[in-house]
Structure 1
Amino acid sequence: MRPAQAAVRARRSVSKVTDAAPTDAELLELLAAAGLVADHAALRPWRVIALRGDARARLGAALAEAAGLALDEHGGAKLASKPLRAPVLLAMVAVRTPDHPKVPEWEQDTTAAGVAHLLELLLDEAGWGVMWRTGPYTRHPAVAAMHGLGEDEALLGWLYVGGRPDRWRAERRRMPDAAERFTTLT
């Protein structure tokens, strides 16, 4: 089996991670590789925002605001604590060039999502626990403002990254029946 295929087959989401986290330098090295994803017109329609320390609590407050919950309410406090589940969150952002003559916005979004997925694979292969999370407030204006997103940017979600616990259950995933999803036209 080729190394890329082995990495894809071995990848598992890790929902509970330790406080260990990759450095910015380590993240930049992996991101440089992930950034080689197929990219029509070489627009590089993505960016990544690392949230560490208090930035995670500010995200939690923005999520509670988006939900219309006060931080001192049980639901608000619970929602606000979710970004604290990992020592670093990587906000994956689609950076769109509107009305591009060759590359529609949906294609730019797929490139950004490709970078996110490759980065997730590379983090997993490097031994980090990682899980891609989204939610109903990903595109809310309060959450966008917390990240400092521009008018032509959209948040795709966050990679929650941390150390893998000594004992974590790597769930066996059932391989999809590719033949059910594959068609050949001649």
Structure 2
Amino acid sequence: MSAESTPRAALDAVRNRRSYSKVTDDAPSQAELEELVSAMSSIADHSGLRPWRIIALRGDARKKLGKALAKAEGGDREKYVAKAQRAPLLLAIVVSPRKDKIPLWEQEAVASGVAHTLGLLLHEAGWGTMWRTGSLTRAKAVRKALGVEKPEYLLGWIYVGGVPEKERRVKPRKPLDLSRHLSEL
């Protein structure tokens, strides 16, 4: 396949994806979210284990998460509750490993693929997203608040909301140094 025959829609989607640290209070409906998550059936997944799940947090569920983050960090409760409410929808990405011959790292890669692809689909649907991680993703208080029980673990959250009008223009990205990222043997 030549560069001229590369599927333009997919290429443009990847090139135009951006992270939005500030979003509006709009969010995808449950039906829209279900449609996008259902597309995850095509994610590359050795043995079709589907070793992941997504927890949607809206409304007061975000406050519950914020309180758990504060408890885990030993920090200011209001600060963490506010952080958890930066977007109207948070999608917690959970690795849900299956006992199988497939190694854990490969199952985690599948969950990571789900997170990235879902973020891309949300962006293409017009939503602003931001992938958030950190040491608190593995904190016991956070796992408990989200109902994540071992051997499951949290990869992070996708914050989702509307794209503010002033952020709608596409800002050019710094090009990749292909000599560093692509080689031949």
Output aligned runs, 1:1-186, within 5 Å.
2-69=8-75, 75-98=76-99, 100-101=100-101, 103-168=102-167, 170-185=170-185
User: In structure 1, what is the Cα distance between the partners aligned to 2:155 and 2:16?
Assistant: 24
Deviates more, 1:75-84 or 1:2-11: 75-84
CA distance in 1, matches of 2:95, 2:108: 6
Which amino acid is the alignment partner of residue 181 of structure 1?
Answer: H
Q: Secondary structure at the match of 1:155?
A: strand
Q: Deviations over 1:141-161 (max 9, x none)?
A: 110011101212110111100
State the distance in 2 between where 1:108 and 1:81 align: 32
Q: After superposition, what is the alpha-carbon deviation per residue over 1:31-60, rounded to whole angstroms, capped at 9, x for unaligned?
A: 111331100000001110000000100100
Give the secondary-structure state (helix, strand or coil) at the position aligned to 2:184. Answer: coil
Identity of aligned residues (%): 53
> 1:101-159 deviations in whole A, cap 9, x for unaligned?
2x101100000000000000000000001111112201101100111012121101111
Root-mean-square deviation (CA), in Å?
1.3
Q: Unaligned regions of 5+ residues in structure 1, if any?
A: 70-74
CA distance in 1 between counterparts of 2:25 and 2:46 reads 37
Aligned residue for 1:180, secondary structure, equals helix
- Gap change, CA 1:174 and 1:35, over 3 Å in 2: farther
Tell whether the 8 Å contact from 2:16 to 2:170 is kept in structure 1 after alignment: no
Structure 2 counterpart of 1:39, one-letter code: D
1:170: Cα distance to partner? 4.4
Which residue of the partner structure matches residue 72 of structure 1? none
Q: How far apart, CA to CA, are the structure 2 residues paired with 1:83 and 1:48?
A: 16
Name the TM-score, length of structure 1 as normaliser.
0.91
SS of the residue corresponding to residue 57 of structure 2 reads strand
Of residues 54-63 and 164-173 in structure 1, the stretch that sits farther from structure 2 once superposed is 164-173
1:152 & 1:32 partners in 2: Cα distance?
Answer: 24
Deviations 1:57-79 (A, max 9, x none): 0100000001022xxxxx44222
Amino acid at match of 1:66: A
- Output the TM-score relative to the length of structure 2: 0.91
Equivalent-residue separation in structure 1 for 2:42 and 2:146 (angstroms): 24
What are structure 2's unaligned runs of at least 5 residues?
A: 1-5
The amino acid across from 1:57 in the alignment is: K
Letter in 2 for 1:86: A
